[in-house]
Amino acid sequence: MPDAAGTTRRRRYLQAMQVDVWLSRERSPQAPAESAVAVPASSERHASSANTDTPTIVDPAGTIDVAEVAAMPLAELEATVAGCQRCPLHSGRTRTVFGTGAADARCMIIGEAPGAEEDLRGEPFVGRAGQLLNAMLRAIGFSREAVYIANILKCRPPRNRDPKPEEMVACSPYLRRQIALVKPRVILAVGRVAAQYLVGSTLAIGRMRGQSYFYENSDDGARIPVVATYHPAYLLRSPLEKRKSWEDLRRARQLLEANP
């Protein structure tokens, strides 16, 4: 049972995530979250992920050499992405959305693809879902600037539909290189698409939560813990699930504390 300072801190975190904090006369306010958090990650999976796929689509404009991409520094990678024509999504984009944050961040947040606002501004998670993501990060003591945020796809799919497998394969050299350069200690995968992609799972996001996964890249031997959580856009529609996401974020923070 946490002390009074711990209780106050927890309440502040939950309020920062706009989670309603109910005070019961019989029970202390932290009890529900505390019991849920006590359930540990119960299984460990080792999955080769989409990050090791060889792109199967042809690069019609011959815009990139995948081996060159795998050796690029971040600034050159960003410039390469800005000119990418490896899949048809390039023709509908306003701007590519490369990624943002600290190049040496210990925590990397990975979503699926830019939405309308991101496409206009060229930055990931700047719409309503992004505001909530910022609040979630603050709730575990991170500023947006202290983490690195990226998506699987760097171009917006039409009408925000799910990314197609071939689009993810086409874009995979970029994210793979971003992860290799940033070398995060933990990856927070937000939403089903990102979580499944990073660890090669087909489970629903609700089943992936709380499990222990790793992102693996045989090229550089990376084996980075992945915490799967709900997408902030889903949390905007289902605010009662925010408390579960808060538990996931706490787990991410605990992994960082265990692996400084």
Among 109, 112, 157, 248, binds ligand URA (CB under 6 A): 112
Q: What region does 141 belong to: left with phi over 0, alpha with psi -120 to 50, or beta?
A: left
200 lies in the binding site for ligand URA (CB under 6 A): no
210 lies in the binding site for ligand URA (CB under 6 A): no
Among 49, 87, 106, 111, binds ligand URA (CB under 6 A): 111
125 lies in the binding site for ligand URA (CB under 6 A): yes
118 lies in the binding site for ligand URA (CB under 6 A): yes
Q: Which residues does 104 contact at the CB level (< 8 Å), separation at least 6?
A: 182, 183
Q: Which is nearer to ligand URA, 7 or 100 (CB)?
A: 100
113 lies in the binding site for ligand URA (CB under 6 A): yes
Q: Which is nearer to ligand URA, 124 or 184 (CB)?
A: 124
Stretch 51-110 residues interacting with ligand URA (CB under 6 A):
none
Among 129, 132, 224, 252, binds ligand URA (CB under 6 A): 129
Compute how many residues bind ligand URA; rule: CB under 6 A: 10
14 lies in the binding site for ligand URA (CB under 6 A): no
Site string for ligand URA, 133-172 (x = CB under 6 A): ------------------x---------------------
- Burial code of 152-167, b = ≥16 C-beta within 10 A, e = fewer? bbbbbbeeeeebeeeb
10 Å Cβ neighbour count for 14?
Answer: 19
115 lies in the binding site for ligand URA (CB under 6 A): yes
The stretch near ligand URA (CB under 6 A) out of 16-24, 59-67, 113-121, 218-226 is 113-121
Q: What distance, in Å, lies between the first and last C-alpha atoms of the chain?
A: 25
Half-sphere exposure in the Cβ direction for 235 (13 Å, CA): 24
- Contact status, residue 231 vs residue 2, Cβ threshold 8 Å: no
Rounded-to-integer distance, Cα 151 and Cα 258, Å: 26
10 Å Cβ neighbour count for 220?
Answer: 12
Q: Which residues does 38 contact at the CB level (< 8 Å), separation at least 6?
A: none
Q: Which of 256, 235, 237 is nearest to 111 (CA)?
A: 235
CA 18 and chain centroid, separation = 20
Q: How far is the CB of 187 from ligand URA (least distance, A)?
A: 14
Residues that bind ligand URA (CB under 6 A): 111-115, 118, 124-125, 129, 151
